[in-house]
Chain A
């Protein structure tokens, strides 16, 4: 059962249970225990599973480690400390692993010192083990295993198949998962949850401790941490110490009137404001959402204020930069040498970056938890205030960020989405399990279902993965090449195949696709990495920004890009990085606010009353309230205000008679992606016409040369047929093709590292398509294809919430209202201004070829 921990222990109780040396060490260092420590230390001591959620700087890691250190000290004191691993600490980042090792150094060596004075030697060891650990250190670890092993999810799953080291793990008592929220929401977490079950199967039982930032619902994350036993969630206590850290958070707009300002004016005002804020503080951390945004902020600050910012005091930090450059930025931050650092998302997690007194978010963080996580990076200790400023530059951003502010201050957080039943990750684990030993098919199924992510795994999906792994899609005589495992259905057993199994597994597991593989070299030195799609766009002579510097593209050879330093404005302004989608819960809150506002206008409230309402409701200043008031008033007077009760569908005709249908569906881009593609597919089929679609967080539009029938198409969708239609709609998309390639990689149908060679992503794309074509013709239910579709509609898009929206319409909770406009209404404006995203075609390949042939022949004839 998952229960909220409400018992707070007294200091005396906690001290009584700590080893005297540990107690003394703690008393020498700290005045008292933090709340998190008073709630959690005793329970960990008693071997209970605990999820601790509290802001950065609240002593979370020490909370987790203190009773473990005490326990190890007690054992060592009694001479009972054995050469085996007692505790495994897992974090998503190698950098965080290294930080933790450093942080453990102090207590361990100081406690050792104290013991030495009493003539004792404790000898408690800790060590980091990741993909970067050299062979010599690995060998040393086998001879003398660390008592505390610090690692990553991927390395853990490799250790599970290492025949000798596996032995050393078989008595683990504690597992700590740090930054668990950031793992749980993607396939790395799915992978980890299965590794933990495999570890549990090896060990029997151990205590699980999860450390999480502010997320909702904690019960879900707790279930993810502890897993299930016989269909029931294992026990877990939740320690929730949030909002103790005070928030000083504001939404600011660089100009007085956001509606009237032109883009240049806005841009200048924004950089002036940024400079002001940075100069008023000691060290500022700026978050943009994209790598290109990061590059552009660094570039512009340097250009506009060359006296204030130069190579020595401003740096960019994002995942495309080389490891060395990122490390340099982190170290300079720690040493207080940087005035400002600009990051995309890479500095969100808890690596040690020293003292930051201001966090600025340059664009909407798109979710409340992300806003809190980012702003929480400022203010060092628990009782420091976290100071954050969100800069908004357009009207939709203003409304969105104001709601983020409201929800952050009121502690209302968006719910986390944890992917489930991922068949590609399952393939890896089944391989790993088979390498460990032979398994009974049913017994292995039971073990798999203990993971939160597979508790509802259907037997047919499980068997289809076994069948794939056994190479049953190939002829019997060829199977030895493709089969990773053997399955004996008579004996109901499976096991590994091939002598290279362990090597293949160890070099190919993991869930992060190789998508950003091009290395950028300047005069032989690696300066960063760029996405492969971006590399393909580059032509000789183009210049672009990377790491705040401008480079000219010379040539690309394989996945290595040769550049030389350049000056002047970059010719390629940005690269496409996936934008962060707006959280669904937050989107609904914005819709509720819209409903409130409509009510005010309906009842004829005065401007003062409405301004007062906005000011109180959203905690924004009067300038912001004024802009919001005018924005909504325009929409109200010109059209109608869409809301959570009313889905507004706006028809208008653009240049050249082009028809647009705008759906004011403010549900976030993931839901809108699903809805728009499904509608477009229905229309394309029905009217045999190409449909252009464009999607944003606030809605989507469909556009076509003739009558679209957008509403009729939409009305054919319902919560029952949505999934089927959507799967057909994505069938020929690039999104499915690239996700399929990633899934095939995770399922080990594409081996990234095989026979000593690492492959370029470019070649993978072409060959991935050959594979997709083959699989599509082979079996429509092939497990990898099924997983790729699931990933697209559930993880990339959000089909589940899209179904909820359709249910609201079916139940009458939300009405669909049609209006016609001559020019797009204010709320539609941003959406219509953005270009189209994709075109849905109704034609089969042969029809397409015939049409194109005819068109070319006509052109030639005419």
Chain B
């Protein structure tokens, strides 16, 4: 069994590999099932491989939590369960169903949060009698996908927002070599705490928040000093690497080059 490093990102929230744990909820985000078929339709004839990996990874996490006597009984998928915007592909029908069957066997409760890729997800999940929510709260934490800022933001009572959507990773550069590593981000947004989750898929690492354009409206419109203060927690091979604040990484890496 894999040994997994559990790291507290803030009080009540722990990083467990690419997932978060709050109470007995496990939270994962941005699975993008069906991505291979979408690549196929663009002419990249890559076979389906990531569903199996997602399942294996999930099993490893649960097995570890169980043995660590901190099991989880509920799961939250924080948006973008599937990939296609405007349709349901064959692969998506099959894999979303298979995943839900699997999750039902292992969890008491499944909560799906609607992402921008999930326009058609409710058609599949309704068969499994699972509802798709805009957001979901556990005490003072609210999970939402993060592709749009809720209108009633300032009225929300929850002090912490947890979003996906961004697929954050950081590119570490040394000489000619660049390696991207998936990461969690933690910072402040409109006087609330904000946590950004990495994607739980294994096709790509994501987009490099240090060098590429940001996607989520939560991050795009931040003041520079606010963004610079975000904390970065890299995750690789079940280990967590706390890199400090964005401004620190940038200034440190400038000194290397």
A residues with CB within 8 A of B: 473-475, 478, 481-482, 690, 748-755, 757, 759, 763, 766-768, 770-771, 774, 838-839, 841, 845-846, 848-850, 852-853, 855-857, 859-860
Chain B residues within an 8 Å CB radius of A482: 45, 47
CA distance A750 to B45 in the complex (A): 6
For residue B28, CB closer than 8 A to chain A, the reply is no
Known contacts A855-B252, A859-B255: A848-B203 contact under CB 8 Å: no
B236 and A849 form a contact (CB under 8 A): yes
B41 and A755 form a contact (CB under 8 A): yes
Q: Distance in Å from the Cβ of A621 to the closest Cβ of chain B?
A: 44
For residue B248, CB closer than 8 A to chain A, the reply is yes
B174 and A770 form a contact (CB under 8 A): no
Name the residue in B47, B236, B241, B243 with the highest tally of chain A Cβ atoms < 10 Å from its Cβ.
Answer: B47
Chain A residues within an 8 Å CB radius of B172: 848-849, 852
Q: How many A-B residue pairs have CB under 8 A?
A: 94
Chain B residues within an 8 Å CB radius of A481: 40, 45, 47
For residue B108, CB closer than 8 A to chain A, the reply is no
CA distance A690 to B42 in the complex (A): 39
Chain A residues within an 8 Å CB radius of B253: 856
Chain A residues within an 8 Å CB radius of B251: 859
Interface flags for B213-257 (1: CB within 8 Å of A; 0: not) read 000000000000000000000101100011110001101110110
CA distance A757 to B234 in the complex (A): 37
B43 and A750 form a contact (CB under 8 A): yes
Q: Distance in Å from the Cβ of B150 to the closest Cβ of chain A?
A: 32
Q: Which of B42, B47, B175, B181 contacts A473 (CB 8 A)?
A: B47
Chain B residues within an 8 Å CB radius of A845: 179, 236
Interface flags for B167-192 (1: CB within 8 Å of A; 0: not) read 00000101111010100000000000
CA distance A774 to B53 in the complex (A): 12
Known contacts A481-B45, A852-B174: A860-B248 contact under CB 8 Å: yes
Chain B, interface SS category? mixed
Q: Distance in Å from the Cβ of B54 to the closest Cβ of chain A?
A: 15
For residue B48, CB closer than 8 A to chain A, the reply is yes
B181 and A849 form a contact (CB under 8 A): yes
Chain A residues within an 8 Å CB radius of B249: 856
CA distance A478 to B49 in the complex (A): 11
Chain B residues within an 8 Å CB radius of A755: 41, 43
Interface flags for B117-147 (1: CB within 8 Å of A; 0: not) read 0000000000000000000000000000000
Chain A residues within an 8 Å CB radius of B204: 766, 770
A841 and B177 form a contact (CB under 8 A): yes
Interface flags for B83-110 (1: CB within 8 Å of A; 0: not) read 0000000000000000000000000000
Known: A748-B45, A753-B43, A768-B44. 16 other contacts (CB 8 A): A478-B48, A481-B47, A749-B44, A750-B44, A750-B45, A755-B41, A767-B44, A767-B46, A841-B175, A845-B179, A849-B172, A856-B243, A856-B248, A857-B242, A860-B244, A860-B248
Chain B residues within an 8 Å CB radius of A770: 39, 44, 46, 203-204
Q: Distance in Å from the Cβ of A694 to the closest Cβ of chain B?
A: 12
A853 and B234 form a contact (CB under 8 A): yes
A846 and B176 form a contact (CB under 8 A): no
Nearest-CB residue, chain A, relative to B90: A481
CA distance A206 to B256 in the complex (A): 65
Name the residue in B40, B45, B49, B243 with the highest tally of chain A Cβ atoms < 10 Å from its Cβ.
Answer: B45
Q: Number of contacting residues on B, CB 8 A?
A: 34
Chain A residues within an 8 Å CB radius of B44: 749-751, 767-768, 770-771
Chain B residues within an 8 Å CB radius of A754: 41-43
Name the residue in B39, B177, B179, B251 with the highest tally of chain A Cβ atoms < 10 Å from its Cβ.
Answer: B177
Known contacts A481-B45, A482-B47: A853-B175 contact under CB 8 Å: no
Chain B residues within an 8 Å CB radius of A857: 242-244
User: Could you show 30 A-B contacts with beta carbons less than 8 Å apart?
Assistant: A475-B47, A482-B45, A749-B44, A750-B43, A754-B42, A759-B42, A763-B42, A767-B46, A768-B44, A770-B46, A770-B203, A774-B49, A838-B176, A839-B175, A841-B175, A845-B179, A848-B172, A849-B234, A850-B241, A852-B179, A853-B243, A855-B252, A855-B256, A856-B248, A856-B249, A856-B253, A857-B243, A859-B252, A859-B255, A860-B248
Nearest-CB residue, chain A, relative to B39: A767
Nearest-CB residue, chain A, relative to B254: A859
Nearest-CB residue, chain B, relative to A768: B44
Nearest-CB residue, chain B, relative to A758: B43
Chain B residues within an 8 Å CB radius of A846: 236-237
CA distance A482 to B45 in the complex (A): 6
CA distance A853 to B256 in the complex (A): 12
B45 and A759 form a contact (CB under 8 A): no
CA distance A34 to B35 in the complex (A): 64
CA distance A837 to B157 in the complex (A): 56
Q: Which of B40, B176, B179, B256 contacts A839 (CB 8 A)?
A: B176
B179 and A848 form a contact (CB under 8 A): yes
Q: Distance in Å from the Cβ of B84 to the closest Cβ of chain A?
A: 15
CA distance A346 to B181 in the complex (A): 43
CA distance A846 to B181 in the complex (A): 10
A474 and B47 form a contact (CB under 8 A): yes
CA distance A357 to B39 in the complex (A): 54
Q: Distance in Å from the Cβ of A698 to the closest Cβ of chain B?
A: 23
A478 and B47 form a contact (CB under 8 A): yes
Q: Distance in Å from the Cβ of B215 to the closest Cβ of chain A?
A: 16
Chain B residues within an 8 Å CB radius of A478: 47-48
Interface flags for B14-51 (1: CB within 8 Å of A; 0: not) read 00000000000000000000000001111111111100
CA distance A558 to B55 in the complex (A): 35
Chain A residues within an 8 Å CB radius of B234: 849, 853
B241 and A849 form a contact (CB under 8 A): yes
Known contacts A855-B256, A860-B244: A749-B41 contact under CB 8 Å: no
Q: Distance in Å from the Cβ of A500 to the closest Cβ of chain B?
A: 12
B175 and A859 form a contact (CB under 8 A): no
Nearest-CB residue, chain B, relative to A859: B252
Chain B residues within an 8 Å CB radius of A859: 248, 251-252, 255
Chain A residues within an 8 Å CB radius of B181: 849
Q: Distance in Å from the Cβ of A465 to the closest Cβ of chain B?
A: 15
CA distance A484 to B4 in the complex (A): 43
CA distance A538 to B91 in the complex (A): 39
Q: Distance in Å from the Cβ of A451 to the closest Cβ of chain B?
A: 26
